[in-house]
Structure 1
Amino acid sequence: MRKSCILLCKRFRMTNSANDAVLNATFKYQPPVNRNMHELDRSFFVTKVPLVVVHFPDPKNISLFTNKFKQEVLSLPRISRVVRLAADDSTNASAEPPLKKSSLANDNHIRKGVLLRESLNQVDELSKQLSPEAQQFMKENLAIAQPYECVLDYSFWKAEEIFRSILPEQFLDEIPSGFTATGHVAHINLRNEFKPYGQLIGQVILDKNSKVETVVDKTDSIDTKFRTFCMQVLAGKNDLVVEQRESNCSFKFDFSKVYWNSRLHTEHDRLIQKFQPGQCVGDVFAGVGPFAVPAGKKKVLVLANDLNPESYKYMVENIADNKTGSFVQPSNLDGRDFIRQSPLLVQQWRHRTAGQVVVPGGKRYKDSKTGETKRTESRSVAIPRFYHHYVMNLPDSALTFLDEFVGLYSRHSEIYEQIKALPEFQAPWIHCHCFEKYDATESPEPSMTELHSRVHARILKIMNTDDTVLPFESLQFHLVRKVAPTKPMFCVSFQLPHVLL
């Protein structure tokens, strides 16, 4: 199963000259420039660097020379100072790129040499520029100096360096080199000015990232109903069914038909840590299961719902693939309907299973006392009669669903009469994700406390209550991330007051 990585977008926000200075300080050489390239020509990106290589008949003198005369040998990032030479020719320059030392160590038939510092690029100048001590060492150990041509081709250059050599100069302040990887798909968000170069950019990203097999660009704004958006495949295979690992679980889904955000991995784990084994959780907007499936593995009882038929389909698959079917019950309802029916849904689950789920045994383990290999026994976990938590991960509109929790048990009075007398009964915690966007022209810029107060005011209005019932101090705020400089995403958590039940 493919591993994914998350690469934050790298932005160069300096002048062109400052950019050049930083890059040159890191690495002197840059690929050739062609700002009229519209289709990638890999053969164009060749730079030849004249150097001098020193060969010792006894290979151990390479390391001795390198360690003793560090200032005399090549020291450039990403170029190995140890190279291979033609076995039958000590005078011809090699046009092959340098090899890493590990590539050379296993072949006794390859003659090796060490490259001198880049300013020493003429053999006949060595007597004037090389230190007398280094010359004496070379003489004593029968060293041979010869010209060497180091060829830096397309495979050598980083993606950012390629982009700087082909994109128009006016775009070099913000190079679109960043992407989010989900399974084998790299997702980039190109601004309009970069759209004409999309296929070129996509191909370079594909070439430079070995785990990427498809590069896509978002072509429209996110759909408010299912949180999906149209995508254009810029490079690679036209296959958007991905496999993703997260929270020690595997997820399969069509990236173009469901909502998935790899940047929320930490947030998924944070909330899952709040759920205790044996508790009951209602996941109102479950997607393909990033909260529900890992919670099920933790032996949390989860009723997971999503309106999107594609999300529901893949959630069912992911529940089965991760063997959490005993603990996670999927549904395909509108979020409001799910909240309204949730007390009944957990009761129906209890009736189908006689109030408990079975954890299969058979897992091997070694007895710490006897040292014998044994197998675990099956055991039962009771399904709670009430919810401990609700998760509402639909930040664009989740707050607007909170009114459904007011009088949650008014439609299920018989169920409420049964559970309110239980000594362990407690009102559920609501974990609701939301945005609180503000105007960039606001002065002074609103503080986090002010933004939290605005969210609190919205909650009170939606739930038609006041701060005597749900005071500000009873809310817990967590900044998930900033999707834009003036658009923070929060998770607000609070325990539903009994008076609202």
Structure 2
Amino acid sequence: MEDSSLDPMSVFRPPIVRSAGAALDRSLFTKRIPIAAARVLDVKNVSKYRAQLEKSKDLLKLDRLANVRPDPDASLASKGGKCLLLKPEVKSGVPTTWSPILQEAVKADELGVVDYDLVLDYNYWNYYDIITSILPEDAQEEIPVGFAVVGHVAHLNLREDYLPYKHLIAEIIADKNAAVRTVINKIDDVGTHSEYRTFSYEVLVGEDDMNVEIREGDCTFKFDYSKVYWNSRLQTEHKRLVDSFKPGEVVCDVMAGVGPFACPAGKKGVFVWANDLNPDSYASLKDAITRNKLTNFVRPFNADGHAFIRFAADDLLSLTSDNLNTITLPPKPRSRHAPASTRMPPPQTITIPPTISHYVMNLPASAISFLPAFAGLYDGNEKLFEPYAQRKLPMVHVHCFSTKSDDNVRETREICERIGVELGCVMNPGDGDGEVLVREVRDVAPKKRMFCASFRLPSEVAYRKRA
């Protein structure tokens, strides 16, 4: 029996069901709670008294719980009778526990205060409620609440302490997330299983079906999650960078994956040279380009990233020299409401710029080591850029891992030093030309953080003689 003398609302907590690794018994979570209810004698007054009893603090207010219910008397309920659930401090036979508003309404014969058996069951409580009721108290220091959802797959990364409860945790997650059909647990680090940033996993609930479909950045992606890299927690980072690209610019996405940067950028009229070494990612990238009607803007490649950095710049220049740097877009369909005499607009011709505006390098474990490939990127093409032309050298956005601290000062300095070593020049923190702006992206472990370092490619690197 729960002691509600200190906290009357504690009666609405789920039953404690400690079971170390046992099967989930949902029936154990059914709980009958005796409370009081205000019988509304004329259903036309339900809204009126709901508002008044909420103001007087008589009304029961719980997340996910409707406090307007059928009357507990079955005969009255069959005629449409309603009642309002009252908080546990209000007792049906003790008028001194009623507010003046409730007392006046009863005296006016518009409300009656009656007993009500409130039944809460497994379906009512959320994941956190259920899991804290099941796990032993000594295992609740850091409840496993974080998981990624990729299409219909929920992806766990459980600490060793919680492995004895992994099936319970997975079942509850599947129960409480309608879109989830399969729950998996990662059993090694990303990249351990394959150079393509995939990982080994075990299926805890559902079928081993990793073919998922998701929407992000107004684009649809379909892929086999077991064969490609995808991280739903990077959605904000994807949007942040894509928002910084301008229509008509060229972006080189060196480690494009299935296209979470490339396809949304293409949607806004950015030209993207998108590459990934993984053949499965490349296949899914091509599918996303076709599926989202981006063939005019996003070009897929399956090559080594080191070589692709220079190839993309050279390939773009070759289009200009061969007069292949224009594309013709079909006219937009005429509005249904436009007069029949309205002429179709002419096709639109767009010229692809000869130089790249941004490089994206989202391979945080090793992307900085790819930076030597920028040496000599535009060797012999200095007159394409300032001060000879109104173009700037590309911005480079390189993702990386470092330690974590409250202010990131130590990490920023360390990242700048690593970038400088790879480029062969001094790179200092800052947001001006010749400086590196380091942004925090997300924490990936208790002592590990992901960053994005953005800088304009130094001229001394870009115009260096190619080796």
Q: Same fold (TM over 0.5)?
A: yes
Q: Which of 398, 409, 412 is 1:432 aligned to?
A: 398
Counterpart CA distance in 1 for 2:221 and 2:9 is 40
User: What SS does structure 2 have at the residue aligned with 1:293?
Assistant: helix
Shift of 1:432: 1.2
* Separation in structure 2 between the aligned mates of residue 424 and residue 128 of structure 1, nearest angstrom: 81
Long gaps (5+) in structure 1 = 1-19, 95-107, 439-444
Q: CA deviation at 1:63?
A: 4.2
Letter paired with 1:361: P
Which amino acid in structure 2 is aligned with residue 498 of structure 1?
S
Distance 1:28 1:76, change over 3 A: farther
* Separation in 2, partners of 1:59, 1:306: 64
Query: 1:327 touches 1:357 (CA, 8 Å); kept in 2?
Result: no
Cα displacement string for residues 279-313 of structure 1 (whole angstroms, at most 9, x for unaligned residues): 22211101111111112122222111000111111
Opposite residue 419 of structure 2, the aligned amino acid is: I
Q: 1:27 to 1:325 in 2, by over 3 A?
A: farther
Q: Tell whether 2:203 aligns with 1:219.
A: no
Name the CA shift for 1:367/1:278 in 2 (closer, same or farther; >3 Å): farther
Partner of 1:181: 149
2:461 matches 1:477: no
Q: How does 1:165-204 map to 2 (within 5 A)?
A: 165-204=133-172
1:153 aligned to 111, 118, 121, which one? 121
Conserved 8 A contact 1:367-1:373: no
Deviation at 1:349, TM superposition (A): 5.2
Which structure 2 residues correspond to residues 276-355 of structure 1 after superposition, within 5 A? 276-347=246-317, 354-355=324-325
Rounded Cα–Cα distance in structure 2 between residues aligned with 1:362 and 1:277: 17
Residue 423 of structure 2 is matched in structure 1 by 463
Cα 1:111–1:302 shift into 2, 3 Å: same
Contact 2:253 / 2:272 at 8 angstroms: preserved in 1? Answer: yes
Determine if contact 1:286/1:304 at 8 Å carries over to the other structure.
yes
Judged with a 3 Å threshold, the aligned counterparts in structure 2 of structure 1 residues 281 and 88 are, in CA distance, closer, same or farther, namely closer
SS of the residue corresponding to residue 80 of structure 1 reads coil
> Mind listing any 5+ residue stretches in structure 2 that lack a counterpart?
none
Percent same amino acid among aligned pairs?
39
Q: For residues 440 and 113 of structure 2, what CA distance do their matches in structure 1 show?
A: 61
**TM-score (norm: length of structure 2):** 0.85
Q: Distance in 2 between matches of 1:427 and 1:145?
A: 76
RMSD value over aligned CA atoms?
A: 3.5
Which residues of 2 match residues 379-398 of structure 1 at below 5 A? Answer: 379-398=348-367
SS at match of 2:179: coil
Check if 1:80 corresponds to 2:76.
Answer: no
Deviation for aligned residue 1:142 = 6.9
52, 56, 59: which one pairs with 2:43? Answer: 59
Aligned residue for 1:199, secondary structure, equals helix
Task: Give 1:47's aligned residue.
Answer: 31
Paired residues, number: 451
Deviation at 1:116, TM superposition (A): 3.7
Tell me, yes or no, if the aligned pair for 2:259 and 2:274 is still in contact at 8 Å.
yes
User: How far off is 1:458 after superposition?
Assistant: 1.4
Alpha-carbon offset, residue 433 of structure 1: 1.3
Taking structure 1 as reference, are residues 67 and 315 closer, same or farther at Cα in structure 2, changes over 3 Å only?
closer
Distance 1:465 1:133 in 2: 77
One-letter amino acid matched to 2:449: P
The Cα of 1:81 is off from its aligned counterpart by 3.0
Q: Distance in 1 between matches of 2:25 and 2:424?
A: 63
How far residue 194 of structure 1 moved from its aligned partner, in angstroms, is: 0.6
Does the C-alpha gap of structure 1 residues 495 and 155 become closer, same or farther in structure 2, counting only changes over 3 Å?
A: same
Task: State the 1:64 CA deviation.
Answer: 4.4
CA offsets per residue over residues 222-263 of structure 1, 9 Å max, x none? 116212212222223432222222222222222222111222
2:15 maps to: 32
Moved more, 291-300 or 68-77: 68-77
Q: Distance in 1 between matches of 2:130 and 2:427?
A: 57
Equivalent position of 1:97 in the other structure: none
Higher relative contact order (CA 8 A, sep 6+): 1
Q: Does 1:163 align with 2:134?
A: no
